[in-house]
């Protein structure tokens, strides 16, 4: 998961994000498949010229880990 923190947020960790998403999965709000394996904090997400998320560029910048 790529996470952009709000300017006033401090002390949020990868484990905090995973715990929050896991709680939603346990409550049945989302699928357990939605719990990220890793969380990466970034300053901004790549966008296209019309403002949509540019998933192609983000996949190139942050490649997925190989499953072993």
User: For the segment 7-63, what is each residue's pLDDT rounded down to a tens digit?
Assistant: 888 889 999 999 999 999 999 999 999 999 999 999 999 999 999 999 999 999 998
**pLDDT at residue 11, as a whole number:** 87
More confident residue, 67 or 20: 20
Which residues make Cβ contacts (< 8 Å) with residue 57, sequence separation at least 6? 46
Bridge partners (DSSP) listed for residue 3:
41
**pLDDT at residue 5, as a whole number:** 92
Residue 68 has pLDDT above 80, yes or no: no
Question: What are the φ/ψ torsions at residue 47 (nearest 5 degrees)?
Answer: -130, 155
Judged by DSSP in three states, 40 sits in strand
Burial class for 20, CB neighbours closer than 10 Å (0-12, 13-18, 19+): exposed
| Topology at the third CATH level for domain 2-61 | GMP Synthetase; Chain A, domain 3 (3.30.300)
């Amino acid at each position: 998961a790529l996470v952009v923190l709000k300017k006033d947020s401090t002390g949020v960790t990868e484990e905090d994000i995973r715990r929050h998403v896991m709680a939603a999965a346990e409550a049945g709000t989302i699928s357990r498949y939605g719990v990220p394996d890793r969380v990466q904090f970034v300053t901004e997400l790549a966008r296209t010229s019309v403002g949509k998320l540019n998933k192609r560029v983000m996949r190139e910048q942050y490649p997925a880990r190989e499953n072993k």
